[in-house]
Structure 1
Amino acid sequence: MRVVLLGGAGALAGGAGLPLVQGAVPRLVLVPVAFRLALFLQAIWAGAPLGAPVLGLAIVLYLVPNLAEVAWVFHRSTGIRPVLAADTAYTLVTSFAAAMFAPGLLALTWPNIMGTVMVWTLLRGAPAGAIAITGAVLLRYGMAVVSGTSAPATWIVLALVAAAATALAIVMLVAGAMRFAHRLGEQRGRAAERERHRRDLHDTVLQVMESLALPAPRDGLDPVGSLDQVRRIARAHALRLRLSLDGDAPAEPGGLEHRLGALAVEMTAEGLRVDLVTLAKPAEVPESVVNSLHDAAREALRNTLKHAKTGKAVMCLEEHDGVVTVSVRDHGTGFDIGAHPAGFGIENSIHARLAEIGGAARIDSAPGQGTRVVLTAPLELGFPVG
């Protein structure tokens, strides 16, 4: 917080190094601009002695430039220095213009001066705010000399200090909110990373070990062949896991249909015959969608292999109105969904995985009627299904 007090919101932008923060900090100028406009409108509403020509000049000098400053900051990616320079120049020009040509508008220059003090304090911290207060007092003395009016009273300094203190309070609130958001993001990121690691271990090591432990019909007839098959599966998955741990896992070739076909061959080799049916071949599917649908379908098929007590399953692929659907159907034992809450595999490897890409999963099953798992995902990321 000490850094924020000394450096203002500019210290947040420089220290964060994030484009979002760096782009948002200059927009804090909206606070003093809103303050200026509120005081200007309050003066008009209170019945300030302004004739039509003077009122028009006041609108041109104060209302229009402040609105233009807001539009400029929000519609252009500008830094802190241009904002400070433009706001200071605006206050100096309007203040001396009023002192020289329209002394009746001197009262309306005060919100501009206070606003500039707030801008400097917001964006550059307490030291800059103190310098801005000194400059504002000197400016008011200069305006008094030019316009031939009385020198500023002591309350002006107190008002400037109050404006700077308000700006510092705003900066502290913004800094606290950013720190909270940063910590919350880190915590959620670590939690999500832990869940991804757990899911990867479940989908690789645990699933392979469970599939190897399942008895196969050929075990008693050809024990040597069964042992060779176990070794091949173990070597293949060990290589895949090693590459994943080293960060060198190559991208899987082919599109979604090719990946699902390879999955069908893989599951058939492990003891579950899978027939792939393509009802409507989808257009180009993003890689993240391909990976999520493939891995979720693999989890569904492994559950069939472990629990359905059947050696066959059908996997269907189709696309309709920008939504890709992969369904896995078996005619095994089925189960009562209400009596069996979703375990880690269904909850994380299917539902959570699809939710990350805006997709969804539906599981239909009943005792003795088999199980149907429907996986859906949008072709365009960012547009959730349903």
Structure 2
Amino acid sequence: MTRGSKFLLALLRRGAPVLASTPRELPAEVGDPEPVPALRRMGAMAASEASPPSDPLMIRATRYAVLLPLACRLVGLPLTWLWLVLGNGVPWWLTVVAWAGTVFTAGSAVWVLRVPDLRGRWTRLLLWVDLVFGVALGLWCGLWIPLVYLAGTVALWTMCRGVLTGLALAALGSVLLGLGAGDVTGIVGLLLVVVTAAVGSLVLLGLATRLALAIGMRLGQEAERARTERTLHDTVLQTLEAIALTEGGEAELARVRQAARVQAHELRRALNSSSAPDGLAAELATLATEMAREGLRAELAISDIGDDQLSEARRIAVRDAAREALRNTMKHAGTRDVVVRMEERDGGVVVITRDHGVGYDEDERPPGFGMSESMKARLAEVGGWCRVESRPGRGTRVTMWVPR
């Protein structure tokens, strides 16, 4: 089997479980945001790897593929029964069978939506029960009601177990129903149409899943790249700029070394952030201590608001934004004193840094003072916002808010 046919052939051979495969990478054409010819993009998706499924969410999501044939049968059975009733009427037992099949189909759809079943054991049992019920209908219950039910069964097995299984069940259904109806050709044609529709749905679903994976991988890589750039900006770049501003002497050299050690520790923690969070208040206290080593006196005003309920992503976003605000105070404010306040506001947590330095005209921002955009982007990623207010001679206030 060639690399270029793995995903599509595996999908046709094994059905919906292949949708859960999560490759480490996909061809560039799949997630390319630039216009790409449709056939070329679909060919790249079909040519991608069908690696073994590993993500529990993807495994569970593939079970939703059965909802389409279940929904079709859920509508088809009552309509067929109503058509027969309005025509020549139906015996009571066939009415019971039709509505029993409808209830079973509805229960199956609800079960798929509500029960995780990551190992697929109960899903396999459900498929076999459905098949046995359909075969029983084909043997003893006439033509139309069993035909509609078996059409749903063929579609279910085609999507869950692949094309060969669907064709085998279509042949079985044709034999069962043809024995009583005498019109095998028409039944075979109808069930082949069902198999074709199921295969088409499966292929479209597979290609759409691959496209969504490619877009998600590309956006994830871009987000990770932006996060890394911000981490470097908040640590290494800021320290290098501080070093460039210092004068010579043993005392300054010792301070630079200490700052380098602190930033190395912060960078290491950012790249390997597996430790349990201490809460935003503790993070701000650590940040104030870190900045004190570099000569900034930060006065903390922390309210007791249970900030440990913040998610790690929001806590880190606020901490890094506050660090950037404090570093910009050191570089541009002309003062070494700043107040850092944390309190509850509007259902979230707000952190405010306030200095009484030289300030600046917001229409004429100093060179290198790009914190507004980077901080806004950082906090917006976690559902928050940032506002920078400054006036010449009146200092600068930076307000950072995130939801709980």
- Checking the alignment, whether the CA contact within 8 Å between 2:14 and 2:160 is kept in structure 1 is yes
Asked whether 1:81 is paired with 2:132, we answer no
Aligned to 1:102: none
Aligned to 1:312: 337
Superposition CA RMSD, Å: 2.9
Asked whether 1:72 is paired with 2:111, we answer yes
| 1:158-307 pair list within 5 angstroms | 158-215=189-246, 223-241=249-267, 247=272, 251=275, 254-286=278-310, 288=312, 289-307=314-332
Higher deviation after alignment, 203-212 or 68-77: 68-77
Among 62, 66, 82, the residue aligned to 1:25: 62
SS in 1 for 2:15: helix
| 1:21-60 pair list within 5 angstroms | 21-44=58-81, 46=83, 47-50=86-89, 53=92, 56-60=95-99
- Checking the alignment, whether the CA contact within 8 Å between 2:20 and 2:55 is kept in structure 1 is yes
Scaled by the length of structure 2, what TM-score is found?
A: 0.79
| 1:119-158 pair list within 5 angstroms | 119-142=156-179, 144=180, 150-158=181-189
Higher deviation after alignment, 311-320 or 57-66: 57-66
- Checking the alignment, whether the CA contact within 8 Å between 1:6 and 1:125 is kept in structure 2 is yes
What do the CA deviations read for 1:213-245 (whole angstroms, capped 9, x no partner)? 225xxx59xx43223222322343345446666
- Give, in whole Å, the separation in 2 of the partners of 1:189 and 1:283: 28
Aligned to 1:10: 17
- Give, in whole Å, the separation in 2 of the partners of 1:74 and 1:250: 33
Amino acid at match of 2:132: A
Gaps of 5+ in 1: 100-105, 145-149, 380-386
Aligned to 1:365: 390
Instruction: Indicate the percent of aligned positions where both proteins have the same amino acid.
Output: 35
SS in 2 for 1:284: helix
Amino acid at match of 2:136: V
Q: Which protein shows a greater Rg?
A: 1
Q: Provide closer, same or farther for how the CA distance between residues 326 and 18 of structure 1 changes in structure 2, counting only shifts above 3 A.
A: same
Q: Provide closer, same or farther for how the CA distance between residues 232 and 26 of structure 1 changes in structure 2, counting only shifts above 3 A.
A: closer
- Checking the alignment, whether the CA contact within 8 Å between 2:81 and 2:95 is kept in structure 1 is no
The offset of 1:52, in angstroms, is 7.9
- Checking the alignment, whether the CA contact within 8 Å between 1:256 and 1:285 is kept in structure 2 is no
Among 116, 119, 123, the residue aligned to 2:153: 116
Aligned to 1:382: none
- Checking the alignment, whether the CA contact within 8 Å between 2:98 and 2:145 is kept in structure 1 is no
- Give, in whole Å, the separation in 1 of the partners of 2:340 and 2:278: 18
Among 88, 101, 105, the residue aligned to 1:62: 101
- Give, in whole Å, the separation in 2 of the partners of 1:204 and 1:337: 25
- Give, in whole Å, the separation in 1 of the partners of 2:281 and 2:399: 16
SS in 1 for 2:148: helix
Q: Provide closer, same or farther for how the CA distance between residues 118 and 364 of structure 1 changes in structure 2, counting only shifts above 3 A.
A: same
- Give, in whole Å, the separation in 1 of the partners of 2:254 and 2:274: 26
- Give, in whole Å, the separation in 2 of the partners of 1:329 and 1:92: 76
SS in 2 for 1:16: coil
The offset of 1:328, in angstroms, is 0.2
SS in 2 for 1:294: helix
SS in 2 for 1:275: strand
